[in-house]
Amino acid sequence: MTPLLPADLCHRILSAALARGGDFAEVFAERRTVRSLHYEDSRLKSAGEHHDLGVGIRVIAGEATGSASVEGLVESDLLTAAGRAAAIANAGAGNPRPWHSPILPGRYRAESPVSAADLPTRLAFLRRAHERARSADPRISWVSASLVDSDQAVTVAASDGTFAHDQRPMVRFAVSVMARDGTRRESGYAGGGGRRGLDWFASRPPESVADLAVRRCLHGFSAQPSPAGPMPVVLAPAVCGTLIHEAVGHGLEGDFARKGVSAYAAKVGQQVASPLVTVIDAGDVPGDRGCLDLDDEGTVPGRTVLIERGELRGYLHDKLSARLMGVAPTGNGRRQDFRHTPIPRMRTTWLAAGEADPEALFRQVKRGLFCAALGGGSVDITKGDFNFEVAEAWLIEDGKVTAPLRGATLIGNGPEAMRRVTGVGNDLKLDDGTWTCGKEGQSVAVGQGQPTVLISELLVGGRA
């Protein structure tokens, strides 16, 4: 794998970045190509290819960060950008350490890259999904299918001696549908992908994605208004990992914890959840959207146990938060692109499997809500309060799933909800979705998952 910038040029850039001192300097070079196809109303609506190439340079002095970015790889521009980033520091010049390059574990699964497929092959996937959805039900009035794939090459060089390179594939396939029944309209969405190639379609044919989108769409026509009030809630495996990601995971990112703005700040070693709860974040799940051979600071990501049997074990760190908190980086330094600086971000986050039979968890519920899929929502990181729409909800009566529901929301507090977990199934699944996480204006691909989970009580919003 050839680096985007040669080692000697990286050394000159780092030396310029440290000319006024500083504790740390870094060069992040990136080349990204994104190809997209959008199929709608039985025709190819749009096709595009976007190329991006540039370098981000960062200097850290204490807790302050100076940064600059430049498009292209022209040496004079890079040295000028290094000087701008160096303005944050005001001390004697520093020197980069000797290079060391990590061995990459090879976690990506793209033996047959999507980019190698011709246009007719890629269009065929979209047509198959479109035709399947259109023919599923006469009420389907609109279908859209999209295929996006990308190749990202990165080179990271830092004053701590890091010199590393990575080549990252990504594929994303999605289907959206709308249906009309009289004056009522409903919509549905499904998608998936990961750091995979054409082999992804062997495990999830386009028809299966279309089927799921249609099912979620038509669910609303037969659904009755959701009951409201406190009640037991059963969360489905895989897709409902959104709750763990949003209401728990963000509060465990090192920058929030260090600044004291997280509900989990300064609680390492304390019991923060039910003993049934173990939460893990990892960059080593082969082919997953959150999988990385190398984070955006040149650290090889491993697996971090955040909560173990209810006890908080630690946080997710980039190099800066790790240094300021006196711990080792966890490989969670991520950035949207070379124009942004890295911050602690999740990769693939899940609640670990328990020992319970999932069916037994339903039998414990006299009357409650089964959340088969979560929709959008909001979270207050400081307090841990959350509010989520339920994209697919069902009523549980006498231990059995009975009627479909609409208009349900889940309202609660992340730490409190984790303390109320009374059952964790043995059916852990990671969701093969199109999850993208936003934080401080940056979006990155992530993964999530969980087994079936029973929470003894959550406030359900709906109609009483």
CA dihedral (272, 276, 282, 286) in degrees, to 10, reads: -170
Give per-residue pLDDT as tens, 351-364. Answer: 999 999 999 999 99
User: What does each C-alpha distance from 44 to 47, 179, 209 come to in angstroms?
Assistant: 8, 21, 19
In angstroms, the CA 363 to CA 343 distance is 43
What fold, for 114-152+168-221? PmbA/TldD fold (3.30.2290)
In angstroms, the CA 20 to CA 371 distance is 56
**How does strand 348-351 pair with strand 229-235?**
unpaired
Give per-residue pLDDT as tens, 209-222. Answer: 999 999 999 999 99
Inter-residue contact 267 to 252 (CB < 8 Å): no
Per-residue confidence (pLDDT) for residue 233, from 0 to 100 = 99
Inter-residue contact 352 to 278 (CB < 8 Å): yes
In angstroms, the CA 28 to CA 58 distance is 8
- List the helix and strand counts (H, then E) for the chain: 10, 24
Give per-residue pLDDT as tens, 224-278. Answer: 999 999 999 999 999 999 999 999 999 999 999 999 999 999 999 999 999 999 9
Report DSSP state, residue 90.
Answer: -
Residues of the chain falling short of pLDDT 70: 91-93, 463-464
Instruction: Please list the residues that pair with 54 across neighbouring strands.
Output: 30, 71
Instruction: Give domain limits for the chain.
Output: 114-152+168-221, 229-461
Per-residue confidence (pLDDT) for residue 41, from 0 to 100 = 87
Inter-residue contact 29 to 52 (CB < 8 Å): no
Per-residue confidence (pLDDT) for residue 154, from 0 to 100 = 98
